[in-house]
Structure 1
Amino acid sequence: MKPSPSPSSASQLLSRRSWLLALGSLGITPMLGACTGGADGSSRIRVINATQGLSALDAYLDTTSIASSVASAAASSYYGADPDTYTLGLRSAGGAVNSVESSITLSKETSTSVVVMGTQSALSTAIYTENESSPSSGYAKLRLINGLQTGDGVDVYITTTSTTSLDNQSAAISNVAESGTSSFSKVSKGTYSLWITGNGDTSDLRAYVASITLSDQGIDTFVLVPTNSTTLASVVRLPQQGSSTSYACTLARVRFVNAGSATASAQASLDGTAVSSATIGAYGVSSYSQVTAGSRLVGFSIGGTSVTSQMTLTAGSDMTVALALDSSGAYTVVSFTDNNFPATSSTKSKIRLVNLASTAGSAQLTYNGGSLLADYTAANSASSYTSFTAGEYDFVISASGGSSQTVASYTSVAGLVYTAFAFGTSTVSKFTMRQDG
């Protein structure tokens, strides 16, 4: 911890504060330097919350609060500080103890951004001084900080706002690793759409901003911020030495399930348009699709019959939407929110039960000779998630009506998440184990 100021330095700090107060009383607003930090030699610092699951955070220089309750996908205002070396402390908003501490040096007349990433138990930072040189006239510079905790890289595409597909497009920035920072890329000034995808896979859309203007000789850092989905992100734009802009996630990730028939395939649709990746076999589960979030008319077509339901697809979430049967045998549509984040223990898997056997009774999931994973779960509902030691086990779904199905010698992997689907009508006739993520 930096020592307390000596009496002489404390007097200097007090004099400076008195000078600022005096200017304020005269209606004069002290100005920070137009280039970087303060013209009087001070520096500036701001904090950006790009964490996973930390809804708000506080930041300190030594014991002085510099940012309070910085919301997820937001940046604090700049805080003016004297050039010096400090202990930077970061903690959950309102907390009494720092989750992480590190040394930070603030230089004279500079602006510094601290991007906070990771989870509360494992926070990390990307710290940079805002001193990138301007591009030549007619151009702008941009780069990306990847706050996603997915273990893989992402690509950045800049396209015209009329572009509807990334086919035949080239990435402006490629393969930015988890918690990594790219180099700056120079592009022509103008108004564009911003697309961020999984590395090498344009169908794996992580974030999309319909319209951004890159100004002449502007310099921007974009930050990917995790959401409640394992892959979807919000975006924070940080103009060099300028005010931040947050772009909330507009996407949801949805997979579709056909629990309506043991023999017929089903086609899922949104607002009357078929979802290309969601032609689902009998008692089948599709892969996830990235779709526009909001109130959507979800539909299924099966055997010449159509069934629809108006439902909210929550932005920044993973969801399962199923064509199911109610207790009378009529088609219905049900949905579940998925939590595809791994168990907190590195040796464990995570699992839940989704019971789509319409009249077989409530169901439970056991493993390892009878150990309970999910207690009796009603038809067309889902259990909570349970963590268990990863390994090879026999998994059994048993219904209160007396039927059961087993998936034998199934190996779960530490760090992965699974859903056990029970299909059927009066009995559990099929048990599908699905690796999520």
Structure 2
Amino acid sequence: MKLTRWMAALIAIVPLLQACGGGGDDDGDGTVRLVNAANGYASLDLYSSDTSLSDDIALDSAGDYVTLGSGTYTFKLRRSGSSTVSSSGDRTVLDGTAHTLVAYNTNETLKTVFLTDNEVAPTAGTAKLRVLNTSIEAGALDVYVTTPTATLADSSATVSGLGAERVSGYNEISEGTYRVRITGNGDKTDLRLDLPSVVLDDQQITTLVLTSTPGGVLVHGLTIDQKGDVTARKNPSARLRLVAGAEANGSAAATANGVTLSAGLTSPAVGAYTLVPAGALTLSATLDGTALTTSATTLAAGSDNTLLVTSNGATGTATLFADDNRPALTSTNAKIRLIHGVGGLASPITLTADFSAVASDVARRTSSAPAAIAASTTARLEATTPTVTGPLFLAEDVTLQAGKVYTLFMLGDAATPQGVLRRDR
């Protein structure tokens, strides 16, 4: 790939603050449009104080530009048809300048960033691209803009270490078709989004917006052309792992949508997350060579999932769980949940941390909701059930790091249950 005329020797990483400066097509009034990049908000209405500006702006789309006099306005967002204000903030509209108010949600909060659409066009034969990372859940990210056939191993990051709620400077790139890949900061094996074909046209000015996903690790994409189109670039993948929890060290194997999760995982064991195509699920799971059935039908785009294989005597069961690997809302907390995968144990399991219940009466082949608890280097974790005297699992002086997510898997058979604690991210 030929990259020409970088806008700076190093990519500038700047906070998501309102951009300043004049310019635009006309002198006088400015204009504002809303772009809805807030996953979970199917449609938004935009108000200036209590005056309606735009209605029913669907997810991954933009409203029309609305003309406003220069000055400071209180922009409010509501779910379409609702009277409740979901987000509110003061923004300054500049004379003769177009603006885009981008709505996004992260850390369970609807937020906005105010962009000025007045970037000067690049030289002929090139385009300008910048990246906006709105996801606190995803953390710092690296962005690779390469030829479609380039490997990540042989590629250098176009943007490095782009933090949450930050925007990069513009890069001037030769027009053409590119593959855009997003990875975790400093880890080329940690692929978060893969867009195999992104076309950059002559003198196009584009912002790639990265947004949060249900699993919290992968990201979705959205491109916003300056004063132009908005294009959704949803993650085509989900992450799925196999957990083998069968009796008598049973061997589990699984393939999902043509991707092998494991050819043979001996219980008790927790496999690594693997990228698989999202959408309709074609799943093959076996226990000691015997095919298992599951009611799972789809994998949500951008989701994290666990396929748990358990057994009760000669009967094997495959159960799919959706994983919430988003960090705790409070940065000093960790998150932990319990999955009951002891096939022959019909009674529920309770998990305590330092003698306080964090998961109560979790039924067989189900999961508790993740609980946020204070990070610790001396945590005491205990799993118990009413029908067994003493703990099923007990671990002391456990380190639970702030910002991390954990699962305690209770696996195996009722006579000898085994606890496996895993950090999910």
TM range (shorter): 0.7 to 0.9
State whether structure 2 residue 292 is matched by structure 1 residue 292. Answer: no
How far has the Cα of 1:100 moved from its partner?
3.6
Give 1:324-403 correspondences, 5 Å limit.
Answer: 324-325=310-311, 327-367=312-352, 370-391=355-376, 392-402=378-388
> What TM-score does the superposition give when structure 2 sets the normalisation length?
0.82
How far has the Cα of 1:215 moved from its partner?
0.8
State whether structure 2 residue 225 is matched by structure 1 residue 236. Answer: no
- 2:64 & 2:415 partners in 1: Cα distance? 60
- Comparing both chains, which one has the higher relative contact order based on Cα–Cα distances under 8 Å and sequence gaps of 6 or more? 2
2:408 aligned to which of 407, 412, 420: 420
1:65 aligned to which of 48, 52, 58: 52
Is the CA contact 2:267–2:412 (under 8 Å) kept in the aligned structure 1? Answer: no
2:178 matched residue in structure 1: 192
How far has the Cα of 1:430 moved from its partner?
0.3
Give 1:19-30 correspondences, 5 Å limit.
Answer: none
How far has the Cα of 1:264 moved from its partner?
5.1
How far has the Cα of 1:311 moved from its partner?
3.4
Give 1:36-435 correspondences, 5 Å limit.
Answer: 36-37=24-25, 39=26, 41-51=28-38, 56-90=43-77, 94-97=82-85, 99-102=87-90, 104-119=91-106, 124-150=111-137, 152-161=139-148, 165-263=151-249, 265-275=251-261, 280-300=265-285, 303-305=288-290, 307=292, 311-325=297-311, 327-367=312-352, 370-391=355-376, 392-402=378-388, 404-409=391-396, 410-435=398-423
How far has the Cα of 1:298 moved from its partner?
2.7
- 2:232 & 2:289 partners in 1: Cα distance? 45
The 3 A distance-change label for structure 1 pair 241 and 80 is same
How far has the Cα of 1:240 moved from its partner?
1.1
How far has the Cα of 1:418 moved from its partner?
2.2
Task: For residue 382 of structure 1, give the secondary structure of its aligned residue in structure 2.
Answer: coil
Look up the equivalent residue of 2:164 and give its one-letter code.
E
How far has the Cα of 1:56 moved from its partner?
4.8
Look up the equivalent residue of 2:278 and give its one-letter code.
A
C-alpha RMSD of the superposition: 3.0
How far has the Cα of 1:362 moved from its partner?
2.4
The 3 A distance-change label for structure 1 pair 415 and 191 is closer
- 1:384 & 1:68 partners in 2: Cα distance? 35
- 2:104 & 2:424 partners in 1: Cα distance? 24
Task: For residue 177 of structure 2, give the secondary structure of its aligned residue in structure 1.
Answer: strand
Of 396-405 and 147-156, deviating more is 396-405
How far has the Cα of 1:253 moved from its partner?
1.6
Is the CA contact 1:250–1:315 (under 8 Å) kept in the aligned structure 2? Answer: yes
The 3 A distance-change label for structure 1 pair 41 and 387 is same
- 1:303 & 1:214 partners in 2: Cα distance? 50
Find the structure with the greater CA-based Rg.
1
- 2:54 & 2:193 partners in 1: Cα distance? 27
Task: For residue 181 of structure 1, give the secondary structure of its aligned residue in structure 2.
Answer: strand
The 3 A distance-change label for structure 1 pair 139 and 273 is same
> What TM-score does the superposition give when structure 1 sets the normalisation length?
0.80
Task: For residue 131 of structure 1, give the secondary structure of its aligned residue in structure 2.
Answer: coil
- 1:152 & 1:131 partners in 2: Cα distance? 29
Look up the equivalent residue of 1:408 and give its one-letter code.
A
Identity of aligned residues (%): 32
Aligned pairs, how many? Answer: 398
- 2:259 & 2:380 partners in 1: Cα distance? 40
Look up the equivalent residue of 1:435 and give its one-letter code.
R
